[in-house]
A and B are shown apart, each in its own frame.
Chain A
Amino acid sequence: MENEFFHVKILTTGEEILCRKGESLLAAMGRLGRRGIPAGCLGGGCGICKIHVQSGHGVAIGPVSRAHVSDEEEKSGYTLACRFSAMSDLTVSVVGKFRKPFLKGFGNGL
């Protein structure tokens, strides 16, 4: 694996990270201990790390669940951060978020 790095700006949180060529965006965040993109299953299946690539380009490094990213969305730059690796400097916004937690918030924790 080459030691090539790309600058990635996360618009939603204002963070800037370095993503190694071939490494997924989510793995790069994890490597740096950042939490700006929610991390779930890391397998492209749960949709929690959904992002929108605003500028730059990258490559898919595995299948992305069509339940969370449709064909049209993918063509418009939507993808999952666990399955996307930078091939140039990027700017992305975070679309995915943790859903309302199950069982909580119904009785104010009582």
Chain B
Amino acid sequence: MGVMRIGHASIKVMDVDAAVKHYENVLGMKVTMRDKSGNVYMKCWDEWDKYSLILTPSDRAGLNHVAYKVENDSDLDIFRKRVEDYGVKTELLPEGDLPSTGRMLKFHLPSGHEMRLYAMKECIGTDVGSLNPDPWPDDIRGAGAHWLDHALLICELNPEKGINRVADNTRFVMECLDFHLSEQVMVGPGRDIQAATWLFRTSTPHDIAFVGGTGNGLHHIAFFLDDWADVLKAADVMAKNKVRVDVSPTRHGITRGTTIYFFDPSGNRNETFAGLGYLAQPDRPVITWTEDQLGRGIFYHAGELVPSFTEVYT
């Protein structure tokens, strides 16, 4: 019973063809489906469900929704009641509302971001299959991302106005969806304002994260790589493809992950993130970062925040 992992992100792009080329050539994803509305569905080589990314044509960039897969179809009914009892309205979308996908529970986080839960998605297998598989396929392109790993959402944080959607979202996903807290950033004179949180359902440091900002938006969607060598290679791929890199290869203090941040052609931020960090467990003591060490938390080597990283989002 329960949320298993991040299932997909649906994002807005202003030029679908340019976006497809980016996710194909830079990340190594493949198109698996296109629907009548011009939406494009893509998947990474090491994923078994039909898609983890939906590109929707739009006049702007940003997130449509983020979806998490649950173990059983009956979990949707259980979560529906828990979410509604918490005071959040839900809508049950029928099977086929998204192609190759079963029914979905749709609701909005306290921050306003749309989240969906689903149990069924068509399984088409990883690129290496399940019978005596090779460790990787021959036709890996670009960075060869294994899978969509997590999303980081910007949530309104305004202590003077008493608004903290980071804390509101955190409490919601912990109480209603059984997410566990791995790390948090505490700021303010009393270090009592929860300004950023990282939460998990898998045993990796985060499957979702919330960070305080001036509004509501998408900070990034992240794709998983194995190790530092893969991260360096990914950076080369970005240079070859003239991709706008936001932060060149470095390590996060938070989650211990090694990382690169870059932008897709519509300005949606991507991350290639490597390493399993540590074993995230419900009983692992929560890690806290303080405002004075935030530079180290985000960029462990340089120890300084970069303006574009903290202030640019879609």
Contact = CB atoms under 8 A, between A and B. Distances in A.
**Physical interaction between A and B:** yes
Interface of A: 38-46, 48, 62-68, 98-104, 106-110
25 contacts: A39-B308, A41-B61, A41-B312, A42-B263, A43-B265, A43-B266, A45-B62, A45-B268, A45-B314, A46-B61, A46-B312, A48-B308, A62-B14, A63-B266, A65-B60, A65-B267, A66-B59, A67-B60, A102-B211, A103-B195, A103-B291, A103-B310, A104-B187, A106-B189, A107-B291
Contact of B15 (A38, A62, A67, A99): A62
Contacts of B188: 106-107
A80 B247 CA distance: 22
Contacts of A110: 189, 290-292
B238 interface: no
B145 interface: no
Nearest to A66: B59
B311 A99 contact: yes
Given A67-B62, A98-B308, 14 more contacts: A41-B263, A41-B314, A43-B266, A45-B268, A46-B312, A64-B14, A66-B60, A67-B60, A102-B212, A102-B311, A103-B157, A107-B191, A107-B291, A109-B291
Contacts of B307: 38, 98, 101
B305 to A, nearest CB: 7
Contacts of A38: 307
B132 interface: no
A42 B290 CA distance: 31
B37 to A, nearest CB: 18
Nearest to B15: A63
B130 interface: no
Interface string B223-243: 000000000000000000000
Contacts of A41: 61, 244, 246, 263, 267-269, 312, 314
B261 to A, nearest CB: 11
Given A62-B15, A101-B310, A102-B311, A44 B266 contact: yes
Interface string B185-199: 101111101011000
B234 to A, nearest CB: 18
B44 to A, nearest CB: 22
Interface in B228-282: 244, 246, 263-269
Contacts of A108: 189
Contacts of B61: 41, 43-46, 65, 67
A4 B14 CA distance: 29
A43 B268 CA distance: 8
B179 interface: no
Contacts of A43: 61, 244, 263-268
User: For A39, A45, A68, which residue has the most chain B Cβ atoms within 10 angstroms?
Assistant: A45
A43 B60 CA distance: 11
A15 to B, nearest CB: 19
A96 B305 CA distance: 20
B293 to A, nearest CB: 10
A12 B192 CA distance: 39
A44 B311 contact: no
Nearest to A65: B60
Interface string B59-96: 11110000000000000000000000000000000000
B115 interface: no
